[in-house]
Structure 1
Amino acid sequence: MTQVGLDEAAVSAWLDGCDLGLRLPLTFARIGLGQSNLTFMVTDATGARLILRRPPLGRLLASAHDVAREHRILKALESTPVPTPAVLAFTEDPAVTDAPLLAVAHVEGLVVDNVQVAEALSPSRRGSLGLALATALEPIHAVDLGATGLEDLASHKPFAARQLKRWRRQWEDSRTRDLKAVDDLADRLEAAIPPQEEVTLVHGDFHLSNVIVAPDGSHVRAVLDWELCTLGDPLADLGCLLAYWPADGEPATGPLLATRLPGFPSRREMAARYGDETGRSLDAVGFWHTLALWKIAIIAEGVRRRTLDDPRNAAEVSAPAAHVDDFIARALRVAAEAGL
């Protein structure tokens, strides 16, 4: 089956010329939820594998799905303790691809991208896995920006204000309907912005399905999907992790159902582990949790827009972010609990 978004003959020739030790023929299969950058597994004649990433098809919003930027970030992080897949090759050659194409190493391990994977784990392994995610944020937020050349990756101006401005604009550019709560939440967040104490690397989309963990759940082997990576407040990543971590009894679909299973740590336990690992105050975590839920709802609307514009972008499995209203409802609850 020919993969939409890839010229398989041209990409095979390109990879064959990259001195990666591959043996032709190559086979290509789309993997993952695939609602943002498209991801493909490449397997050679010996069974060796690698991963390809490219932007989605059709009209893209400005600054979104920047695979060239993701390539830069992954290369910079190779010299740090942050676990990432090794970069193998990158091209923007129009003879090979109509969009930037990134090849990275395949990392063996467990990806919890559906509830069945989590159901196969014991409660104790679920607990270890959840806390491993909170622990994995520490090296990301400890990256030396100057030493890695990432100091100019993004502005150093107050991050919350930048996020609100950017995602308000994304909402206007991608929305398929009017939803007053999105604007109301933005106003409440703007009025409650906490002071920015530091600027660190921020992954920008850190959650259970964006990591590869050891089979025993003891540690994270690779953090994936760096397209939203930026510079800003480290608690933004913790807020994102909590936003993608529904508790038992809260609405959830797809892979988000996994964290409601017995054994997974609570949001409070996840936050406490992060605080213990980093020594950072958690006073503003309610703000960042709310902002993350609001932002995910806007990203979800972008998924809806791209699928309406070009149905080829739809993955075979519904993405968790496809449920805009659920995220907005949760954001309103968390905002109220945080006193925003």
Structure 2
Amino acid sequence: MIQEVRKGEEINSESLKKFLFESGLLSNHYNKLKILQFNNGFSNLTYLIKFENKELVLRMPPKGARFGHDMEREFRVLSSLRNSSLKIPKVYFFSKDISILGAPFYLMENINGIILTKNNPISKNLTAQQYQFISKMWIENIVQIHEINFNKMGLDKIGKPIGYVERQIKNWSTQYIKSETENIDESRKIIGWLDRNKPKKYDHCLIHNDYKYDNIVFDKSLNSVNAILDWEMCTIGDPLMDFGTSLAYWTIESDHKNIKGILDYPTVNAGNPTRMELVSMYESRRKIKIKDLIFYYVYGLFKLSVIVQQIFYRYKKGHTKDEKFKDLNLMTRLLFKLGWQAIQKNKIEHYY
């Protein structure tokens, strides 16, 4: 999870040291910094900065990023939520001065605990009973996000709820076309289907937009949540689009081996609910009934396919040399096939 900084993704330690000193976080400019890099995740560059018995996390957009990755937005959201009931990291400083590190960045506290990823041995050794408890916590926290009073938190201006669903379909479609590297028949079919089948009425609230196991830090006992991470896409919008994105990541044991091959998450382990069980848990907790479930699930798969394709586009253009990105085009193809099969079978499970 923590490694030496990848080649081509180094940051200027002297410039950072100067910023830390001038910000009051570093007491002596001559003290050394130790810079490491988090290797999980496919999006922003995230570094662990060690100095003077302190540990901070620095986040900045990847080189060559064409869309999203708004560090100022994420910093503003986390700052606004600091007095809420949500478990979030404390943030310190944001800078949009690209002369320092070459891109905008912000600094936050390092949260210790357990992140459930496919490569974390703990994920494979948990009992079914533990996963049952963890998944209930997972549901409880996404519901808390959706029920928070965002006006009271001063976040009413971070999104435009009117027309949100329509804009998401249009914007993600545009982003896919701009980062397209090959023709995938299902891509245009899904874009058209989503546009024709979008719900006419929907709710709005604070949404995370990337809520999944590996964006949650659990405490070491796995009995509580220490922090929810990665708020860069947070906005005011349809909560079911948020939940649909989470469903797209929620691989289950009965999924085809090809699905588990590309979305290899601990959600496949015994004790985790199926996607339909997860839907029932969410509906029960929020006292609602999801009417357009296929739309929201396919939207989640579509959004994920666009994100993956954008990363592959950066790799193909040479903006990143990380070899873990070299076959992401295969993942994009399969995600589109999954979305189209889910539409054809009208199911979110047992459709491929």
TM-score, scaled relative to structure 2: 0.87
Corresponding position: 1:178 with 2:183: yes
**What's the CA shift for 1:338?**
3.4
What are the residue-to-residue correspondences of 1:68-217 with 2, within 5 Å?
Answer: 68-115=72-119, 116-217=121-222
**What's the CA shift for 1:11?**
0.8
| Mapped partners of 2:156, 2:340: distance in 1 | 34
Residue by residue over 1:24-63, the C-alpha shift from the partner in whole angstroms, topping out at 9 and shown as x without a partner, is 32211110424211001112243x31111000012x324x
Counterpart contact for 2:212–2:246, Cα < 8 Å: yes
* CA RMSD between the two structures: 2.5
Which residue in the other structure is 1:31 paired with? 38
CA spacing shift, 1:336–1:159, aligned 2, 3 Å: farther
CA spacing shift, 1:40–1:336, aligned 2, 3 Å: same
Q: Pick from 45, 49, 62: which aligns with 1:56?
A: 62
Counterpart contact for 2:49–2:57, Cα < 8 Å: yes
The DSSP-based 3-state class of the residue aligned with 1:323 is helix
Residue by residue over 1:126-185, the C-alpha shift from the partner in whole angstroms, topping out at 9 and shown as x without a partner, is 222222211111121122232222212122223221111001100111111111211101
| Mapped partners of 1:226, 1:166: distance in 2 | 19
**What's the CA shift for 1:328?**
1.7
**What's the CA shift for 1:262?**
1.4
The residue identity in structure 1 corresponding to 2:38 is I
**What's the CA shift for 1:281?**
2.1
CA spacing shift, 1:200–1:321, aligned 2, 3 Å: farther
Q: How many residues align?
A: 337
Corresponding position: 1:11 with 2:16: yes
| Mapped partners of 1:285, 1:223: distance in 2 | 25
| Mapped partners of 2:152, 2:341: distance in 1 | 41
Consecutive unaligned residues in structure 1, runs of 5 or more: none
Q: Pick from 41, 48, 67: which aligns with 2:48?
A: 41
CA spacing shift, 1:216–1:333, aligned 2, 3 Å: farther
Counterpart contact for 1:114–1:258, Cα < 8 Å: yes
What are the residue-to-residue correspondences of 1:146-295 with 2, within 5 Å?
Answer: 146-250=151-255, 251-253=259-261, 256-295=264-303
The DSSP-based 3-state class of the residue aligned with 2:46 is strand
| Range with greater deviation from structure 2 (78-87 or 116-125) | 116-125
**What's the CA shift for 1:67?**
0.8
**What's the CA shift for 1:334?**
2.5
What percent identity do the matched residue pairs reach?
22
| Mapped partners of 1:200, 1:172: distance in 2 | 29
Counterpart contact for 1:127–1:264, Cα < 8 Å: yes
| Mapped partners of 2:161, 2:169: distance in 1 | 15
**What's the CA shift for 1:113?**
2.4
The DSSP-based 3-state class of the residue aligned with 1:222 is strand
Counterpart contact for 2:249–2:263, Cα < 8 Å: no
CA spacing shift, 1:321–1:225, aligned 2, 3 Å: farther
| Mapped partners of 1:93, 1:39: distance in 2 | 18
CA spacing shift, 1:317–1:218, aligned 2, 3 Å: farther
Larger relative contact order, structure 1 or 2 (CA cutoff 8 Å, min sep 6) = 1
The residue identity in structure 2 corresponding to 1:66 is D
Counterpart contact for 2:251–2:263, Cα < 8 Å: no
CA spacing shift, 1:88–1:322, aligned 2, 3 Å: farther
Residue by residue over 1:288-336, the C-alpha shift from the partner in whole angstroms, topping out at 9 and shown as x without a partner, is 1110001101111101001112353637688989711222222123223
TM-score, scaled relative to structure 1: 0.90
